[in-house]
Amino acid sequence: MAKQSEWPGKVLTLIKGGNAAAAIAQIKVAPTVKDLQQLQAAMDKAQLKGRWRNVDLAIEENLALLAAPRLHRSP
């Protein structure tokens, strides 16, 4: 079983703390699509989706960017 990344939890903590600018900066350098999807799911579970529209928009934009095959970040 694959180990779950700690990144989504750390970014969620930034969001809950009200530091949306730092959260958006982290979202822009997200390691993988899976991490962004986990963050999105965690926000849904915590009922935070829609509370910070700029954070939701950053997640959606970066999911689209990382989904493009030519823009994947190298390890």
CB 17 within 8 A of CB 10: no
Whether residue 75 is contained in a domain is answered as yes
How many domains does the chain contain in total? 1
Q: What is the pTM of this model?
A: 0.82
60: in domain: yes
Assigned domain for 18 exists: no
Q: Is residue 28 one of the residues assigned to a domain?
A: no
Is residue 55 a part of any domain in this protein?
yes
37 in any annotated domain: yes
pLDDT digits (tens, 9 = 90+) for 12-69: 999 999 999 999 999 999 988 999 999 999 999 999 988 999 999 999 999 988 877 7
Residue range of the domain that includes 54: 33-75
The gap between the terminal CA atoms of the chain, to the nearest Å, is: 21
